[in-house]
Chain A
Amino acid sequence: MKILVAVKQVAALDEDFEMRDDGRDVEPDFLLRDLNEWDDFSLEEAVKIKEAPPAPAPAPAPVEVVVVSVGADEVDESLRKCLAKGADRALRVWDAAIEGSDSIAIARVLAAVAKREAPDMLFAGVQSSDQSFASTGIATAAFLGWPHAAVVSNLSYAPGAKSAVFRRELEGGLLHEVEIQCPAVLTIQLGINTPRYASLRSIKQAAAKPIEVLSLADLGLGSADVGEAGSLSRVRRMYVPDKGRAQLIAGDVAQQAARLAEIIKEFKGAAA
């Protein structure tokens, strides 16, 4: 009995930052990295299932929680946090060719990992806080041909069961209760549980647990499957939009109108 949890190390902007020379991303030095907030919840959901008191006979097989992430070695820090919180194993997939992958290419990689690990369930966060595509989890399900559901806010699933029942919140205060066949891919919504705290001590001790690094070859993938070649979209540029300006025009109505006309002329002139 195995649950695979796909996690991502996200980037947040520090106080001041600069753009990368190619203008398609922020210079990495200015980013603060942490585990994606949604992934805290999906990992917690998996660990909760693992820790739930076992159902009476027949005794089910013990639950193994495996976390997987796609990224370079700085991702190990986040994976170690996952191990500290109760994951049994961690996998990290990396190859220089993966650089520049979009969410679909990442999903292709994750699907390959899922085929290799053959879990009973695959959890992912609804979205990542830095890119917000909200597509990786569902795209993975598409590659696998597994049933899937997004934005799960409540789950009841007994380890080893053939199906799971979950709830999703819909517009207008409606709840959607759905039964799904396993294995399935569920993307987990914030608030489904209360993620636990990983003490620094437990993170340190988790350093003893293995993080297995997989290459594309290990997964039977080639460089054409990932990176820009394997992606369906491409970032053209990332930038801070010019801020709009406002000013208050003082004076009586005639003065205000005159000044307004002036500004319009200036603006037209500048654009021309």
Chain B
Amino acid sequence: MSRTDAVTRILFESFSAAEVRLFYLLGYGAIAVFCYGVYVQIRKYRRGAALRLEGGVWARFGAMLRSVLSHRTIARRDAAAGGAHRLIFYGFVLLFAGTATITLEYDILEPLFGIRFWHGGFYLIFSLILDLAGVALIAGLLFMMYRRGWLRLPKLDYARPDRVPGDPDFDRPQYRREDWAFLWILLIIGATGFVLEGARLVWLQGRPEVWDTRWWSPIGALLAQGMRAMGLTEQGGAVLRHGLWWFHGLIALLLIALIPFTKVKHIFTAAASLMVRDPLAAQRLPRVPESQVEAGAAKITDFNWKQLLNLDACTKCGRCHEACPARAVGAPLSPRDVILSLREFAHATLESGVVPAAAELDIHGKGPGQVAMETLWSCRTCMACVEICPVAVEHVPIIVQMRRKLVEDGAMDPLLTKTLQTIHKTGNSFGESKRKRGAWSKALPFPVKDARKEPVDVLWFVGDYASFDPRNQKVSQVFASLLQEAGVDFGILYDGESNAGNDVRRVGEEGLYEVLATANVNAMSSASFKSVVTTDPHSFNTIRNEYPDFGGKFEIEHYTTLAKRLFTEGRLKVTNPLKYRVTFHDPCHLGRFNKGYDAPRDLLALLGCELVEMGRCKANSFCCGAGGGRIWVPDPVGAEKPAQNRMKEAASIAGLEVYVVSCPKDLTMFEDALKTTGNEGKFVVKELIELIREAVPARRTDEVAA
């Protein structure tokens, strides 16, 4: 046997048989505690409601693996944290794989089959790789410590906007202690591993196959040199190695045992959560089955197992906290804290042997772990939290399901009650007569076809704001003229159309949503058309993603894609290029919800505008504050509104001329915010449709007629 062949990993050398037995005993003990913890967690999830997932397991597994291995979701909008986590993750995985390979050989392959591979060149390369993995782990951990200790990132501050100082769960110092303990434990495991390696080298310096190959574990070799220089003898090395071996081993076993009971469990829960991710979580809210008596989530067990798993997947990274428009303006809501509250609640109630009585499972209220109605009503269902969550926590369906319970109880703002009653009575949120829905089209010089009476190519679903709001009616008239001039054969449903229900559903009034969706699906199904267009991203979302659940499968597009096509097909021509310096606000329901980022930007380029992006754009667009039914509830007096926050961001763009929107509710919200933030006269808010009109001047009437 050559010298390099002889080299192998030193395991229990110099240990007494009793010591080895003790180690195995502790090892099995740690694994037993781990298994018990896993059992308790799985039992907790199984106490949630049933849920059948769509899609195959392997496709889900593959998607999860891609997210985990690429760290794509973790690195988004925080490259430094993503990079550090990548170092820790790969360091940890390699070191774990290394240890597991040793177990594979020592405890399974060798005793059973006499197979040995853990020596020679294989060992040396692995030794090098594991040393590098250890460096990566420690480097990542040190950066994370720096980040927590010195950067003082607001998103890592656990103080809650929905509690006040003095409340028992205001800033949860136990979370901070746990974070630090986790970092320190991993750091100590990594550091003692290296010192242990160095001590072993000092101890075995007399064996040439060990000593001559020492630079294959460079960190250990460096430490060994240092220890020797400080006068550590072979015997001293042996003692140090023996002691550190136990220290290192016990802490590692402790970590394994603690996984299911601490934040370390995110290793499993985050991966599992990514695996059960619903890409349409916020876009397509869950239906309430006919058989279900209670409409929403009243008790913790009303959540399904996946939602309970979501709660445990949260790593408190604070990205949702940072992205939330309600939180940004000081509303008592942080999506992170909704999740953490419910997690604490589930932990307190569902981890013991018996499930407590229903009364103790009530998640609504102001007690520890409960969520207050003010918190739930602050949400604008803008999906910023769901979109940025690196571990696929789906906050919006959780919040809406809790709101469904509030709606059942009538626990909501009286104005919202009034609006819902109005929508039920008249089919629109303006309380206008149904018959007046198409009245905006009377001002046009041409009749707009009634799609209920004659076939059309394109059915235009107008929506409430574009139908009834006087400012938006003007935009509707312009859009109708553009369609007419481009020769599009289009029509509307007149009083056959009702409020699309997108926001009614997000309020949590599921029964009313069912009525509205069914009415619209019936009205649309009885008309003859090829495709649907809408200027309203809210209607667009629900018709596209939610109506199929109600039997309405329609091909629908937002006007921005249709308009772009009309330009590329030459049916609309820019004859008056605009030289404006503009910025574009991505509507939540067009951008984040439906990934319609490009068409509006392409249109602006076609029109000749110079687009300057705001810091928060595309997927990170900042909600105007109108979503989730909040347009029907006034914001608190005195506090900043999300739209005002956004206006200030836009106002910081030098030389901005037009703030471009492509959503009727945005037009309403931002024209208001423009005035209230004192930016009136500095720049204007315009619908993209209005800019198109400017760039494509109306043809003379005789031309239109011809």
Q: Is the CB of A199 within 8 A of B511?
A: yes
Q: Is the CB of B514 within 8 A of A200?
A: yes
Q: Is the CB of A203 within 8 A of B433?
A: no
Residue numbers in B under 8 Å from A196 (CB-CB): 410
Decide if A16 is an interface residue (CB 8 Å cutoff): yes
Residue numbers in A under 8 Å from B420 (CB-CB): 197
Decide if B263 is an interface residue (CB 8 Å cutoff): no
Q: Is the CB of B435 within 8 A of A14?
A: yes
Question: Would you give the 0/1 interface string for A140-163, flagging 1 where the beta carbon is closer than 8 Å to chain B?
Answer: 000000000000000000000000
Residue numbers in B under 8 Å from A199 (CB-CB): 295, 407-408, 410, 509, 511-512
Q: Is the CB of A34 within 8 A of B425?
A: yes
- Considering the chains assembled together, what is the distance between the CA atoms of A14 and B514 in angstroms? 25
- Considering the chains assembled together, what is the distance between the CA atoms of A204 and B432 in angstroms? 25
Most-contacted residue by chain B among A34, A199, A202 (CB, 10 A)? A199
Residue numbers in A under 8 Å from B434 (CB-CB): 14
Residue of A whose beta carbon sits closest to that of B416: A197
**Pick the contact of A204 from B414, B417, B511 — CB < 8 Å?**
B511
Residue of B whose beta carbon sits closest to that of A200: B511
Min CB–CB distance A254 → chain B (angstroms): 43
Residue numbers in B under 8 Å from A32 (CB-CB): 425-426
Q: Is the CB of A197 within 8 A of B412?
A: yes
Min CB–CB distance B90 → chain A (angstroms): 50
Decide if B424 is an interface residue (CB 8 Å cutoff): yes
Min CB–CB distance A116 → chain B (angstroms): 32
Decide if A194 is an interface residue (CB 8 Å cutoff): yes
Residue numbers in B under 8 Å from A194 (CB-CB): 414
Min CB–CB distance A80 → chain B (angstroms): 13
Min CB–CB distance A29 → chain B (angstroms): 11
Decide if B421 is an interface residue (CB 8 Å cutoff): yes
Decide if B536 is an interface residue (CB 8 Å cutoff): no
Min CB–CB distance A139 → chain B (angstroms): 30
Min CB–CB distance A198 → chain B (angstroms): 8
**Pick the contact of A202 from B408, B417, B435, B515 — CB < 8 Å?**
B408
Min CB–CB distance A69 → chain B (angstroms): 18
Residue of B whose beta carbon sits closest to that of A14: B433
Q: Is the CB of A201 within 8 A of B511?
A: yes
- Considering the chains assembled together, what is the distance between the CA atoms of A202 and B512 in angstroms? 10
Question: Would you give the 0/1 interface string for B504-547, flagging 1 where the beta carbon is closer than 8 Å to chain A?
Answer: 00000111101100000000000000000000000000000000
Decide if A15 is an interface residue (CB 8 Å cutoff): yes
- Considering the chains assembled together, what is the distance between the CA atoms of A213 and B343 in angstroms? 51
Min CB–CB distance A4 → chain B (angstroms): 23
- Considering the chains assembled together, what is the distance between the CA atoms of A130 and B420 in angstroms? 22
Decide if B66 is an interface residue (CB 8 Å cutoff): no
Most-contacted residue by chain A among B288, B410, B434, B436 (CB, 10 A)? B410
Min CB–CB distance A14 → chain B (angstroms): 5
- Considering the chains assembled together, what is the distance between the CA atoms of A199 and B414 in angstroms? 14
Residues of B462-519 contacting chain A, CB below 8 A:
509-512, 514-515
Question: Would you give the 0/1 interface string for A190-222, flagging 1 where the beta carbon is closer than 8 Å to chain B?
Answer: 000010110111111000000000000000000
Q: Is the CB of A201 within 8 A of B288?
A: yes
Question: Would you give the 0/1 interface string for B407-446, flagging 1 where the beta carbon is closer than 8 Å to chain A?
Answer: 1101010100100110011100000111110000000000
**Pick the contact of B435 from A15, A200, A203, A204 — CB < 8 Å?**
A15
Q: How many A-B residue pairs have CB under 8 A?
A: 42
Interface size on B, residues (CB 8 A): 24
Residues of A1-57 contacting chain B, CB below 8 A:
14-16, 32, 34
- Considering the chains assembled together, what is the distance between the CA atoms of A54 and B425 in angstroms? 36
- Considering the chains assembled together, what is the distance between the CA atoms of A204 and B512 in angstroms? 10
Residue of A whose beta carbon sits closest to that of B424: A200
Residue of A whose beta carbon sits closest to that of B436: A15
Residues A201 and B510 in contact in the complex (CB < 8 Å), given A15-B435, A16-B435? yes
- Considering the chains assembled together, what is the distance between the CA atoms of A37 and B408 in angstroms? 21
Task: Decide if the interface of chain B is mainly helix, strand, loop or mixed.
Answer: helix
Residue numbers in B under 8 Å from A204 (CB-CB): 511
Residue numbers in A under 8 Å from B426 (CB-CB): 32
Q: Is the CB of B417 within 8 A of A197?
A: yes
Min CB–CB distance B467 → chain A (angstroms): 14
Residues of A134-186 contacting chain B, CB below 8 A:
none
Min CB–CB distance A7 → chain B (angstroms): 16
Min CB–CB distance B517 → chain A (angstroms): 12
Residue numbers in B under 8 Å from A201 (CB-CB): 288, 295, 408, 510-511
Q: Is the CB of A197 within 8 A of B514?
A: no
Residue of A whose beta carbon sits closest to that of B515: A200
- Considering the chains assembled together, what is the distance between the CA atoms of A8 and B92 in angstroms? 72
Residue numbers in A under 8 Å from B425 (CB-CB): 32, 34
Min CB–CB distance A81 → chain B (angstroms): 10
- Considering the chains assembled together, what is the distance between the CA atoms of A95 and B244 in angstroms? 96
Residue numbers in A under 8 Å from B295 (CB-CB): 199, 201
Min CB–CB distance A200 → chain B (angstroms): 3
Residue numbers in B under 8 Å from A16 (CB-CB): 435
Residue numbers in B under 8 Å from A203 (CB-CB): 511
Residue of B whose beta carbon sits closest to that of A85: B410
Residues of A88-128 contacting chain B, CB below 8 A:
none
Residue numbers in B under 8 Å from A15 (CB-CB): 432-433, 435-436
Q: Is the CB of A200 within 8 A of B433?
A: no
Min CB–CB distance B675 → chain A (angstroms): 31
Q: Is the CB of B512 within 8 A of A200?
A: yes
Residue numbers in B under 8 Å from A14 (CB-CB): 433-435
Residues of B276-305 contacting chain A, CB below 8 A:
288, 295
Residue of B whose beta carbon sits closest to that of A33: B425
Min CB–CB distance A31 → chain B (angstroms): 12
Residue of B whose beta carbon sits closest to that of A202: B408
Q: Is the CB of B410 within 8 A of A197?
A: yes
Residue numbers in A under 8 Å from B417 (CB-CB): 197
Min CB–CB distance A136 → chain B (angstroms): 24
Residue numbers in A under 8 Å from B432 (CB-CB): 15
Min CB–CB distance A36 → chain B (angstroms): 14
- Considering the chains assembled together, what is the distance between the CA atoms of A197 and B432 in angstroms? 21
- Considering the chains assembled together, what is the distance between the CA atoms of A147 and B434 in angstroms? 44
Residue numbers in A under 8 Å from B512 (CB-CB): 199-200
Most-contacted residue by chain A among B434, B436, B511 (CB, 10 A)? B511
- Considering the chains assembled together, what is the distance between the CA atoms of A200 and B410 in angstroms? 12
Min CB–CB distance A126 → chain B (angstroms): 20
- Considering the chains assembled together, what is the distance between the CA atoms of A199 and B434 in angstroms? 21
- Considering the chains assembled together, what is the distance between the CA atoms of A161 and B239 in angstroms? 88
- Considering the chains assembled together, what is the distance between the CA atoms of A165 and B614 in angstroms? 63
- Considering the chains assembled together, what is the distance between the CA atoms of A14 and B435 in angstroms? 9
Min CB–CB distance B375 → chain A (angstroms): 20
- Considering the chains assembled together, what is the distance between the CA atoms of A194 and B414 in angstroms? 9
Min CB–CB distance B501 → chain A (angstroms): 11
- Considering the chains assembled together, what is the distance between the CA atoms of A14 and B432 in angstroms? 9
Residue of B whose beta carbon sits closest to that of A16: B435
- Considering the chains assembled together, what is the distance between the CA atoms of A120 and B215 in angstroms? 97
Residue of A whose beta carbon sits closest to that of B421: A197
- Considering the chains assembled together, what is the distance between the CA atoms of A262 and B408 in angstroms? 67
Most-contacted residue by chain B among A16, A32, A196, A200 (CB, 10 A)? A200
Min CB–CB distance A87 → chain B (angstroms): 15
27 A-B contacts (beta carbon < 8 Å):
A14-B433, A14-B435, A15-B432, A15-B433, A15-B436, A16-B435, A32-B426, A34-B425, A197-B412, A197-B420, A197-B421, A199-B407, A199-B408, A199-B410, A199-B509, A199-B511, A199-B512, A200-B424, A200-B509, A200-B510, A200-B512, A201-B288, A201-B295, A202-B408, A202-B511, A203-B511, A204-B511
19 further interface pairs, Cβ-Cβ under 8 Å (given A32-B425, A197-B417): A14-B433, A14-B435, A15-B436, A32-B426, A34-B425, A196-B410, A197-B410, A197-B420, A199-B408, A199-B410, A199-B511, A200-B424, A200-B509, A200-B514, A201-B288, A201-B295, A201-B408, A202-B511, A204-B511
3 closest A-B pairs by beta carbon, nearest first, are A200-B511, A201-B511, A15-B433
